[in-house]
Structure 1
Amino acid sequence: MLYLFAPLPLTLPSAIGGAIAYRKEHLIYWRIALLTSLWGFPGVLLGAWITEFLPGTILMLLTAGFILSVGVYGLSGLRNRSLPETKVQLHEAIIPYWSPLLGLINGLLANGGGLLLVPLYQLGIGLGLRAALATSLATVTLMAIPSTIIHAFLGHIDWELTGWLAVGVFPSTYLGSKLALHLPGLMLSRLYSAFLIVLALYFGYTEIASVIK
């Protein structure tokens, strides 16, 4: 389980690096990010508490399935539908209904919740793809703080492993976000989705193989 939660503290500097790149383009909707974080916090607490009763293998497989579903969604074409980067009327009223679920996933799978935030912000609230990506990074930055504190208190984080992973996280995320600003939206979405699918399949295969042995 330590390998699952070790990257969690890195969510904060990683998300900050990406958010800085997007902030200069004025793509971050801070009100939406703040509301999502506030409504999602109870879910973070509940999700972290549930991990105490679930075997690590189940959590790892749930994570793989979750990542796979997001990757498939990205390649399905829904994510690439033509939406403007700004929209006059945004549907913020759905935030209190969906944020607790996102917080639960955040606390349970220690993924920051960003993978689900993008489709919520794009398809649910009405942001454009790049604005959804930018705002999701800002939200992850806010939600990662309580999530990291809780899992550290529960003893789920290997700080030595986290230290090794930390090398290069901030600059790589910053550069990745800068690159994303210049890639065509369709190419960006497909590359990201394909990467998630490959990652999920590898993740699931290695976990199942370890159980069979």
Structure 2
Amino acid sequence: MGLLEFVPAGMLVGLAYGAFGAGGSAFATPVLALLGLPGVLAVATPLPAMLPASLAGASSYRRSRDLDWRTVRLTLAGAVPATLVGGTLARAVGGHVLLLLSGLLLAGLGVRMLWPTAKRDGGAADEQSPPWLVTAGGASIGFLAGLLANGGGFLLVPFFAVGLGMSMRRAAGTSLVTAAALALPTTLVHAFAGNIDWAAAAAFAVGLVPAAAVGGRLSARVDGATARVAFGALLVAFALWFLIRVTG
């Protein structure tokens, strides 16, 4: 397993992450597992790159004002403490189980993104979503983000788009900022647990961070409904392929 292989892998993951605001760690875990990292290391090694990648991807959304700061604050209020709890339980659950859970969650969320749903206004969630709902959703996502060692973007985007009625682009931008904040406590928990291969993480970041910035700019050129369908289809296809590999 050569470290150079992690650079193009990071580029591919970064493009999708910046464009859709989700899938950074969720896609990275199966990719790193396929490159040879064992279960727990494949789950946690992408984390150090997620903070800079999230900020790089969010820059274009911030310039176009496609961010919902109220939702960011309310989500983090529940997500940060729950992330610490989930992170402490990750090693006890076991690497193979974590990989299976990652694949199943990807498939389920992909199907949900493809399912028709009535949106309220396709914009912000400021005046429509009760604070308790946003914070409770953040706590649930934070726990799974800590357990599966990811920034939570692949859970945040469906929650914001489907649960809170945001447009796809606004959900993506809000997710990137939220995931950036979640990446720090999640990384610290897994670093202290010895779950990160730092050499692989550095090589992965070389490709991931600049590609996330490019993906964020590309997203402005894609229709929101098209992006949602494309993201859902990508999640389902990749998850099914990965689950076949893991269980085969």
Fold similarity call, TM over 0.5: yes
Partner of 2:165: 126
Q: Secondary structure of the residue that 1:144 maps to in structure 2? A: helix
* Cα 1:88–1:169 shift into 2, 3 Å: closer
Partner of 2:153: 114
State the alpha-carbon separation in 1 of the partners of residues 195 and 125 from structure 2.
41
Partner of 1:156: 195
Deviation of 1:85 (Å): 2.4
Q: Could you tell me which amino acid in structure 2 is paired with residue 31 of structure 1?
A: R
State the alpha-carbon separation in 2 of the partners of residues 63 and 155 from structure 1.
20
Structure 1: gaps (5+ residues): none
8 Å CA contact 1:34, 1:142 repeated in 2: no
1:145 has 2:167 as partner: no
Q: Secondary structure of the residue that 2:67 maps to in structure 1? A: coil
Deviation of 1:124 (Å): 2.9
Q: How many residues align?
A: 208
Structure 2: gaps (5+ residues): 1-39
Selected match of 1:170 from 190, 209, 223: 209
Partner of 1:89: 127
Deviation of 1:24 (Å): 0.3
TM-score normalised to structure 2 length: 0.78
8 Å CA contact 1:114, 1:136 repeated in 2: yes
List per-residue Cα deviations over 1:98-151 (Å, max 9, x = no partner): 221111011011121111212222333332221111101110011111100110
Partner of 2:79: 40
Deviation of 1:56 (Å): 0.7
Q: Could you tell me which amino acid in structure 2 is paired with residue 50 of structure 1?
A: L
Partner of 2:223: 184
1:135 has 2:174 as partner: yes
TM-score normalised to structure 1 length: 0.90
* Cα 1:154–1:75 shift into 2, 3 Å: same
Q: Could you tell me which amino acid in structure 1 is paired with residue 123 of structure 2?
A: E
Q: Could you tell me which amino acid in structure 1 is paired with residue 127 of structure 2?
A: Q
- Judge which range, 15-24 or 118-127, deviates more: 118-127
Identity rate, percent: 32
Partner of 2:29: none
